[in-house]
């Protein structure tokens, strides 16, 4: 399967009714711990909403600040709001950095990545392509090359799962990465 496309994620977001999306958000608000802290650019919120829906539909508890804590004011960052974000990162098992159209303009994403990487080392890139037919792989730039990337791919049993990928033949299912602290390892099969 190719990487996520903005078009796919926007369509996913638009297909859900308001009440279905609200139910997912309200359920997520009840969590004190999250599987994924989704770091992203707020300018890409329509895409991120779709990614939130995708990940929660796969059974993950996902934190997105403006969905879970809508009272936070992006125009007036305080020590208290930054501390809330720190607590949310500490209560998350991993961080997925959504590299989408406006990600490079975000001042918060590098801070969030550094904070979680220093605390859990469970950080990966989730590329979101603006192309209608995105590629199968992701080549990071600058320091992002240090991190594996995540994409959805079917298992042998044809079940769609997230995979953490370091190289064409070095990967692990996200559930094992998350729950068993397993790192990507060499496989005989190329999943591209």
Boundaries of domain holding 36: 4-164
In-domain check, residue 173: no
What tokens does 111 get? 């801070």
Residues 6+ apart with CB under 8 A from 188: 169
In-domain check, residue 44: yes
In-domain check, residue 189: no
In-domain check, residue 74: yes
pTM of the model: 0.91
Q: How many separate domains does the chain show? A: 1
Query: Could you tell me if 127 and 4 are in contact, meaning their C-beta atoms sit under 8 angstroms apart?
Result: yes
In-domain check, residue 133: yes
In-domain check, residue 178: no
Q: List the CATH number of the domain containing 54.
A: 3.40.50.10140
Task: Report the greatest alpha carbon distance in the chain.
Answer: 51
Digitized pLDDT (tens) for each residue of the chain, 192 residues in all: 568 999 999 999 998 888 888 888 888 888 899 999 999 999 999 999 999 999 999 999 999 999 999 998 888 889 999 999 999 999 999 999 999 989 999 989 999 999 999 988 899 999 998 876 666 667 767 788 889 999 998 888 999 999 999 988 899 999 999 999 899 989 887 776
């Amino acid at each position: 399967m190719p990487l996520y496309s903005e078009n796919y994620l926007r369509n996913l977001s638009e297909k859900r009714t308001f009440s279905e999306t609200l139910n997912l958000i309200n359920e997520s608000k009840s969590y004190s711990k999250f599987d994924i802290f989704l770091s992203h650019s707020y300018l890409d919120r329509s895409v991120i909403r779709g990614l939130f829906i995708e990940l929660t539909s796969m059974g993950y508890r996902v934190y997105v600040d403006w969905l879970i804590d809508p009272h936070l004011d992006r125009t007036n960052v305080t020590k208290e709001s930054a501390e809330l974000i720190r607590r949310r990162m500490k209560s998350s098992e991993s961080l997925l950095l959504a590299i989408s159209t406006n990600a490079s303009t975000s001042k918060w994403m590098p801070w969030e990545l550094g904070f979680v990487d220093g605390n859990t080392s469970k950080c990966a890139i989730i590329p979101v392509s603006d192309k209608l037919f995105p590629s199968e792989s992701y080549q990071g730039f600058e320091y992002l090359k240090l991190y594996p990337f995540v994409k959805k791919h079917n298992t042998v049993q044809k079940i769609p799962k997230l995979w953490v990928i370091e190289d064409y033949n070095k990967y692990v299912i996200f559930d094992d990465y998350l729950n068993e602290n397993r790192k990507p390892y060499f496989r005989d099969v190329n999943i591209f």
